[in-house]
Structure 1
């Protein structure tokens, strides 16, 4: 069987560094796998001025597939830069594929496993998070850690963070306290499963004590509206620290910046190819 065209797929961001990181991961994945891997985003990245991306515009999935389909390519493998199975994977992409098939005829787009597939999980992802949080809590007594993600109205996506939190907690020092927080959640008690917003959790922790630093473990892959320099997380932390002088909030690097993430992506690529054989 002819090998499919391989994509490394993220959700997309208007932050140039997010596309740069996507391209860096795709290049490293290409080098290790010996297959060409194309960096592609679902949305938003086309709003970045090409001048901020070395003159090369970001590619969106719809236009990328359209161009390849016109060349006669019919088999694709997408490696998703997603922690869990979100609506982007279960709704957005299937709807896009159906729309393109109505124009270009039948083709196949296989989506490999996400970074933390349920129920088996991914121990290497937990190790990445621990690696990134360890320097922030080193030397602290009864360290406080908050695992923060985007937040989702889907219980099955929230379950990914809940599982990761339990596993990460088991690797932290015995006297550590791990809490969870989200950047976005819908109003209403029916969304209580999603957890509290980061600003609420930080405010409560600040009122409890100022003596122990708070370390944020970011369950984010790339810079965007929430994570990264100038994002909402940094703004919220700065506001809380100004309200509570003496409070020390430390923010972890992003998962997409860890050198061992590429090992997980390489496995997803290989297992995706085996599934298509």
Structure 2
């Protein structure tokens, strides 16, 4: 029996796991097959009572249980925008370790959400919809926008934000100023490809122009940075404290948009035509 795993990076925040489970349930309805939500790391540290009494398991724990039960035909749907090291290193290394103890499996990994060079125009649609929603709720025009993501030490992952930012700017038109920022980046010139940190970008825009600023959120779920209680909200509050009267509005997350399910279904279809990450020993 084939098993479908929806995999994200993981978070210590319960809201992140609950959102992953919600997406998995919607995918299960559309595919007609069970979709198992698992995180690579961190989520097993969340107390079950914060997750409706249902404890979590990490990818490695889930894989061990599946292979122990002789369920070896697996499809992995990555909830990642780009080709992170989680996909190129962590997952294959974890699979190899588990296989040494439980025997081989047949694991096909679907493409990430925005595989380059083709990209994914539907993600641009989602970003636009979320910006429209935030602008309408705030009663403002889209004039100054900052596209923000987590940041990455991998240039190929950063190129996904660049690709989306370029297409988003085209769709917004010349009258809208679009800038990009990250929440995290390693120090040193070698990581300048990430661009500036969000707080520096917002502070500069606020000094130059007191008009409203919209944050376009290239995040899939709530966690340490995005969502209620995240760093981004704290940064916005600090900027508004330094610049009284500044309007700063945060758009919804990509992971809350219904269009994400259609993209994941497309990636699932593509996975069925992919070879396993490593030929099965049997």
State yes or no: 1:62 paired with 2:60: yes
Q: What are the superposed Cα offsets for residues 120-148 of structure 1, whole Å, 9 maximum, x if unpaired?
A: 11111110000001233457567100000
* Cα distance in 2 between the residues matched to 1:6 and 1:254: 24
Superposition RMSD in Å: 1.5
CA contact (8 A) 1:221 1:255 kept: yes
Question: What 5-or-longer segments of structure 2 have no aligned partner?
Answer: 277-282
Match of 1:25 in 2: 23
Alignment of 1:250-265 (within 5 A): 250-265=249-264
TM-superposed deviation, 1:46: 0.6
2:279 aligns with: none
Which residue of structure 1 aligns with residue 203 of structure 2? 203
Normalising by structure 1, report the TM-score: 0.95
Displacement of 1:276 in angstroms is 5.3
Say whether residues 1:84 and 2:82 are aligned partners.
yes
Give the structure 2 partner of residue 107 of structure 1.
Answer: 105
Residue by residue over 1:83-116, the C-alpha shift from the partner in whole angstroms, topping out at 9 and shown as x without a partner, is: 0010111111111011111111221221101110
Distance in 2 separating the partners of 1:142 and 1:101: 51
Partner of 2:174: 174
1:50 to 48, 51, 56: 48
Match for residue 124 of structure 1?
122
When the two structures are superposed, what TM-score results if normalisation uses the length of structure 2?
0.94
Return the alpha-carbon distance in structure 2 between the equivalents of residues 54 and 141 of structure 1: 40
CA distance in 2, matches of 1:276, 1:24: 28
- 1:94 partnered with 2:92: yes
Q: Which residue is equivalent to 2:148? A: 148
Misfit runs of 4+, over 6 Å: none
- The answer to whether the Cα contact below 8 Å between 1:77 and 1:111 also exists between their aligned partners in 2 is yes
Paired residues, number: 274
2:37 aligned partner: 39
1:134: which partner in 2?
A: 132
Cα distance in 2 for residues equivalent to 1:154 and 1:207: 31
Alpha-carbon distance between aligned partners in 2 of 1:102 and 1:132, rounded to the nearest angstrom: 45
